Amino acid sequence: MKFKNSYGDETRAAAYAKLAFANTYYLAYRDIPEIINTYVKGHKALDFGCGTGRSTIFLENLGLTTIGVDISKEMISLARKANPHGNYRCIKDGDFNQFSKESFNLILSAFTFDNIPTLEKKVALFSDLSFVLKKDGIFINLVSSPEIYTHEWASFSTKKYPKNKYAKTGDIVPIITTDIDDKRPCYDIFWSEEDYKKVYDQSGLKIIQKYKPLATGDEPYQWINETHIAPWVIYVLSKKE
């Protein structure tokens, strides 16, 4: 199957725009404020792959001056509609020329690299983004864990896709987001933690810390596997010295 970004159509973009920080998505963002408070110095942030803007607003609410960028004009249009005062820019794939070297204290990428195929493409993007990251800047890469594609979750279902259990790095894996009205599967790119380490190393980045957020069981959500299997991996990265 040839990979096609699932979010490049208006129907999917509109459905995605309605998502809240609830259920399994709650765990994706829960620890980010503490991570930023611990590691980030300064207030200038780039939200890479901002989609409909919820992660950009999230950063703004933490006091960061944030620019959201995405290659999907449908997503950017919805982001601007939801937050007219936000700074959203539709960019060409991999084109960061509008930004100066070492412009940002923080780069956040929330789920974006789930939809970027091949090691070469990932390395090229991380390398280019590293160019606009300050020397002491922090890159937070939030991605789906390999386990998300083989289990059931409060926000996702994969039971229709048993072949996902045999997926290897670079394979296309379907997953259904149950929190939205659009029940068509989203097609992601499976990537192992070991191979993410290779990507970072080739991009001139190093892992400072890695988080695999679990639910405590006290949250107001109907967890399925979230209390004992992490659906997300949060990599905290910096430039190699």
Q: Under CATH, what is the fold of the domain 10-239?
A: Rossmann fold (3.40.50)
3-state secondary structure of 73: helix
Q: Is the pTM of this model over 0.85?
A: yes
Q: Quick: pLDDT tens for 53-99.
A: 999 999 999 999 999 999 999 899 999 999 999 999 999 988 999 99
Q: What integer is the mean pLDDT of 208-213? A: 98
Phi, psi of 59 (to 5 degrees): -70, -40
3-state secondary structure of 58: helix
- Kindly state the percentage of the chain with pLDDT values over 90: 86
